[in-house]
Amino acid sequence: MPDPSAHPGEPHYVTRSNWLRAAVLGANDGIVSVSSLIVGVAAADASQSAVIIAGVAGLSAGAMSMAAGEYVSVSSQSDIERVDIEREACALKDFPKEELAELAEIYVKRGLSAENAQIVAKELTEHDALGAHVRDELGITEDQSANPMQAAFTSGVTFSIAAAIPLMAAWLAPATSIIHVVLFVTVLALAALGALGAKAGAAPLLRPTLRVVGWGVFAMVVTAGIGWLFGVSF
C-alpha cells in the first residue's frame, strides 16, 4: 500500500492521469480485442497458422487504430482548450475590470473573504493574468492539459505489447487447445494489467483488478455469445 502522504517536492499521482488513462485503455483493448479475434477464428476450426495470421493482423490494425483514435480525440480536446484560452485572452484585453471581478468572485466561492479575494485576484492578474484565468476559471493546468502525441504513442505502444500476449499464447499452445490456453492467459493478463494500473495510480489493488478482469471477461463472453448465435461452438 503506497504512502498516502504528499510531502513537499514529491509529485502527485494525478499528474499521471493522462498517460495512465491512455496506457490502460490501449493495453486493455489490445488484450481483449486480439484475444477475442483469436478465439473467434480458432472456434471456426481454422488452422493454427490462420489463427496466428489473424492475430498479427488484429495487432497491427488495432495498434494503428488506437493511436489514430487517441490522437484525433485528444486533439479535439486540445482544440477546445486552445479556443477557450484565446477567448480568455481577448476578454482580458477588452474587459480587464470585469475579468478581475470574475476572478475575485471565483476566490470568494472557494472560501476567501471578498477583501482577500480582491487582493489575490489583483496580484495574480499583475503577475500572469491569462495564466490565472486559465487555471482558476477554465480549470486547465499544464500537468493535465491535452497532449495528443503522448496519448497516441502511449496507447499504440501499450496496445501492441498487450496484444502480443494472447498472440504468443496462441502460437505456443497445442493446436487442439488454442482457445482454452488463450482464454486462461487472457484472464491472467487482464489481472496483471489491473494490478499494474492500480499500482501506477497508487490505488488499492483489488477493485481496479476486478474491474479490468470483469469487463474484459464480459466482452469476451459477449463475443462468444455472438459466435454461438451464428452457429460457432467451442
pLDDT per position as a tens digit, 59-96: 999 999 888 988 888 888 888 888 888 998 998 898 88
Q: Are 44 and 50 in contact (CB under 8 A)?
A: no
Buried b / exposed e along 164-179 (16+ C-beta atoms within 10 A): bbbbebbbebeeeebb
Question: Does the pLDDT value for residue 164 go beyond 90?
Answer: yes
Region of poorest pLDDT, from 12-16, 91-95, 125-129, 194-198: 12-16
Residue 1's pLDDT is 46
Region of poorest pLDDT, from 41-45, 177-181, 201-205: 201-205
Question: Does the pLDDT value for residue 234 go beyond 50?
Answer: no
- 215: cell is 469487463
Q: What percent of the chain has pLDDT over 70?
A: 82
pTM: 0.71
Tens-place pLDDT, residues 9-48: 555 544 555 666 677 778 888 898 898 888 878 877 778 8
